Chains A and B, each alone.
Chain A
Amino acid sequence: MPVTAHACILVIEMLKAVSEDIERPQVNGHEPAGAILSTAGPNMSAAASVKNVLFFLSLVFRYPREAVYAELGRLLPVFEDFFDAYAGNVPVLPEMEELQAEYIRLFVNNRGSVAAVPYASCHLDGGILMGESYHRLRMIMSETGFVLDESTGELEDHLAILLEFASMLAGRLIDASVSRGVPLDEISDALGEVTFGFLRPMMKPILEGISGGTTTDFYAASVRALYNFMADAEVIYTQIFSVPVSAAIKTGVKK
């Protein structure tokens, strides 16, 4: 049986308890995510897990400055099961200086070109930064009430920021009180578009780039985990967040 099917069954079982005796309004044939999640028991935890996995992966794929590195060190044991499940092994965190050098070599600057360009636009729009998809992403962020802290000096479609954005959107679906007035179905659409329109299309080149270019198991294992997690995202999102995957893909960025 395919992996995604296993995950699907599991999540459906988790949702069963709350889905049978609660009447929910239908939106476009789907139950609004907020309606499910606000009453959900076990799936609230699953949703929180997904949100936190996304944020943890965002930490993994950002420059490991001191604070980030410390956080990775603190949280890596917590995510052992995640890595075990999605990467096949739990990576060892290298020394900070080594990790920083490897990060720069892989993602920031190398002699000539980096192994894995972390910007979605480069994978969606023909190899250059800030292509058409970049503007679309900024629109989504704006419409859902997010803005990039300019002091980061980064672009919105950096892998780490996309993962953080997805995590933030998941957070708003879990706790409607932080959705700041944006309808939950818009947030779930945004989560779908960010995941399937931006993150998913860059998974293969990122996996290949890092796998072929890295000398540390940390990024090799991390990108495997990310890749496999993204491969499961359709099932997880459909069942946990009630994200209408087909709609999300439909609204996703067109190549």
Chain B
Amino acid sequence: MKSKDMSRRKFLALSTGAIAGTIFCPNLAFLKAAEPQGMKYAILPEGKREVIASNCAMCVNKCGILCEVVNGKLHKINPNKKHIKSRGMLCAKGNAGAAVPYDPNRLKTPLLRTGKRGKGQWKEISWDEAYKYVAKNLSDLKEKYKNRSSVAFASTEGFQEEFFYYLVNSFGSLNTVRHPTLCLSSNIQGWSSVYGVFPDADLKNAEYVIMLGSDRAQALITPDSVDFQRYKPKGQKLIVLDPRFTATAAKADRWYPVKPRTDQGFVLAMMNVIISENLYDKEFVETYTHGFDELAEMVKEYTPEWAEGKCEIPADDIRQIAREFAFHAPRSVIYPGRRSSFYTHEVYVRQTFAILSAICGCWDVPGGIVPKSSINLNSHNVMFPFFMDAQDRVDKVATGLIKDVVPDAVQCPMVGTGLPTDSCAFLSEKDGSWISFREAVLQDNPYPVRGFVCFKQNPVQGVVNTQKTLKMLDKMEFICVIDTQMSDTAWYADIVLPHATYLERWDPAHSLSGIWPIISFRQPVIEPMFKSKSMFEIAGGIIREMLKIPSLWNDIDPADLESFNKNIVEDILDKPVQEFIKHQVSKHPGAWEELLKEGFFTTDGGKARYGSTRNSEYRFKTKTGKIELFNERYKDKGLYPLPKFCEPEYRPKENEYRFLVGRTAWNTHSSTQNNPYLWEIQKENTVWINVGEAAKLGIAGGDRVRVKSKIGEQTLRAYVTEKIRPDCVFYVNGWNRKSPMLSRVYGHGASESEILDDVIDSISGSVCMHETFVTLQKV
């Protein structure tokens, strides 16, 4: 190499030559001359400050936020003190949302894969090219397989999901798969089996609260977490059952480190006491319920002494808690909680909770369990075409699927436990069952699914058994991901479309049902950055391109197409989304203005709504129209109509520990760990190990430990503590992402998806995240 000094001298000496005379191609400049205003150029306003009301999207709660915007930049997010649902609270995640639009790693422009899938070779394309590409691939798959359901659509909850379903329904696939079977579908199913609906708990007015496995101090749900923090100290009594001493347990009057998988036994024994001692609400039971006699007969065998042998809680304590619960009723709550993706018999567990509430009359009254109310919105009455070439969803019509999903379970415990072995008994038509769906796709059972369009979901990280998810993606001929980040799933896509963040877009109005119902929406607090777009715009763009491909519409009535064009494309998608929202709230005078000003609106001054179902004429959404203590539909399906205790079917072998997973208050699943502000709170996860067990294994706090299941293994540091049962280990989810370039979390902590077995509850189709056993080894 030449001397650097000499080279540079030469360069400058030669600068009179070619370089100096270079003429660049015009039209390549990013910058242009500004037009002067008077004698000066326009100077940007200094310190222009606005406060814009909207709603958070850092998790599912949609808390009220006031965004302080200075010179077009989001400066800070503050809580909206008037907000009825979030009670003026904004958590760490909500505050850290201010960093979301300004993440330099956010998706910026449509990217098309140019190399092998998963190798990270992309090129930028325009939105027009992107829309054409997606529409053509959808059309090709429809033609090739003569089945619109050969393309699956995955999404997770959120206001823009409504527009994702405009795209889904315009294509006509019946294979949609959503998040509930990774979270709370068994909970919804269990409570709905009794009341016909999934209710809320009135923690604001309750006098006595039992929480089983719910950690409301960490896994935040509004208003419950706020009410729990605010009203518990004012005299509310709290009993917590959890294998871990959680932050919620720390606030409890009593904490029981219940043996995992036996909570149901505890509640059955409570019912035994309450019924045998005539402490139940006879009038309520007679007026509103169905099947009490059968229930009373069943619980006779579940004495507190029996339960003590199962769940390791003293029989006397169970008696006392049962009596206290009945004493405080109807202001007693056995808390429904949210995530229930724990065990294979979880629906029966939740059914048991619901029945306890019912026999004590803790229904639809202040301080009890209350059905959600909602504020009605105007519907747009959209009618999508009826497509002939669409087969029913794979996880519904596949044969023998459950055996393949949980082979170990089928061989022994499923028989005689009231759990279906052929297909999921109560599969949601829209949500599906993630694990069953994936298995059906892997098996081509009963037909091939070769397209995957994924909005705001990251199944590579979020669905247990990552390797199977990757195999499923390998089968796809077309993968499109719409997201704000290059997620692990996006990495495997053929095309990635950048979604605008929740702070940059209009979101449609949604009725947030609950004891204190409100209407919520989102408005942009800053301009969309880069070339990101909302799902409303993206759906419109793709659908318009789809309309240019005649073969995509050859299996519908031409009149349907005409109607589709007029009522959906022209009247909705071609107009500003604000028009859509205005129509939604038009039956409430002043609602639009209120939304813009406050970020939400309510009716009746936001008062709680109680008692709408407490009249003898009310018909519950159950088969009998009553609150069903004995479930007639379960009986029809061959399930247990009463929640018989399900013996633990999975037991740890020697040297094995039950693996538990959970959340912290400062992260949402796997989506926020790399946020710079939240990363400051926690830089890696650690595995909780009981002190005694750690000593046996020679593990000290801070040691690196290999956690190994039959699915995989992960390594992370140990947190040696008395706060967990000896037979369990625990870590929070969302760490050790697969990407070596994920600067903050790569190589830090451990991923749960890499070790969790894909066991499901075959009533609701929910995954069971606490049915995996692991061994520990110091490394």
Contacts and interface: CB of A to CB of B under 8 A. Distances in A.
Interface stretch (A18-26, A27-35, A111-119, A242-250): A111-119
A48 B114 contact: no
Given A71-B25, A135-B73, A147-B34, A113 B741 contact: yes
Given A97-B114, A104-B124, A142-B43, A113 B9 contact: no
Interface of A: 1, 3, 6-7, 10-11, 14, 42, 45-46, 48-50, 52-53, 55-56, 58-59, 62-63, 65, 67-68, 70-71, 74-75, 78-79, 81-82, 84-86, 88-89, 97, 100-101, 104-105, 108-115, 117, 119, 122, 126-131, 134-135, 138-139, 141-149, 152-155, 158, 160-161, 164-165, 168, 180-182, 228, 232
A46 B9 CA distance: 12
B10 A7 contact: no
Contact of A114 (B13, B31, B99, B104): B104
Nearest to A168: B31
Interface of B: 1-2, 4-5, 7-22, 24-25, 27-34, 36, 39, 41-44, 71, 73, 99, 101-105, 107-109, 111, 114-115, 120-124, 486, 488, 490-491, 496, 529-531, 674, 676, 737-743, 746
Contact of A81 (B14, B39, B122): B14
A165 B29 CA distance: 9
Contacts of B2: 84, 88
B12 A110 contact: no
Contact of A42 (B9, B16, B742, B746): B16
B8 A86 contact: yes
Contacts of A138: 44
Given A67-B25, A154-B30, A112 B737 contact: yes
A7 B104 contact: no
Nearest to B486: A109
Interface centre among A75, A85, A122, A165 (most CB of B within 10 A): A85
A228 B1 CA distance: 16
B728 to A, nearest CB: 31
A180 B33 contact: yes
A143 B674 CA distance: 37
A232 B5 CA distance: 11
Given A3-B4, A142-B34, A146-B31, A112 B741 contact: yes
A10 B9 contact: yes
Contact of B44 (A78, A139, A144, A155): A139
A74 B25 CA distance: 10
Contacts of B10: 81, 84-85
Given A127-B676, A128-B103, A112 B746 contact: yes
A130 B8 contact: no
Contact of B31 (A78, A85, A161): A161
Contacts of B486: 109-112
Contacts, number: 237
Contacts of A81: 10-11, 14, 19
B34 to A, nearest CB: 4
Contacts of A78: 18-19, 22
Most interface-central of A101, A126, A131, A160 (chain B CB within 10 A) = A101
Contacts of A232: 8
Nearest to B528: A153
B743 A113 contact: yes
A52 B20 contact: yes
Contacts of B99: 128
From A68, A97, A112, A114, residue with most partner B Cβ within 10 Å: A112
A110 B21 contact: no
Given A129-B529, A153-B530, A82 B19 contact: yes
A145 to B, nearest CB: 5
Contact of B27 (A53, A67, A146): A67
Contacts of B15: 45-46, 48-50
Contacts of A63: 124
Contact of A181 (B20, B39, B737): B39
Nearest to B33: A145
Nearest to B109: A153
Nearest to A134: B73
A131 B486 CA distance: 22
Nearest to B21: A48
A142 B43 CA distance: 6
Nearest to B744: A113
Contact of B108 (A86, A109, A111, A145): A109
Q: Which 6 A-B pairs have the closest CB atoms?
A: A112-B742, A49-B15, A112-B739, A85-B11, A85-B7, A45-B16
A217 B109 CA distance: 25
A144 B21 CA distance: 25
Contact of B531 (A46, A84, A127, A153): A153
Nearest to B8: A85
Contact of A6 (B8, B17, B104, B490): B8
Contacts of B4: 3, 85, 88, 228
Nearest to B73: A130
B71 A135 contact: yes
Contact of B36 (A104, A145, A153, A158): A145
B382 to A, nearest CB: 31
Given A71-B25, A128-B99, A119 B104 contact: yes
Contacts of B115: 101
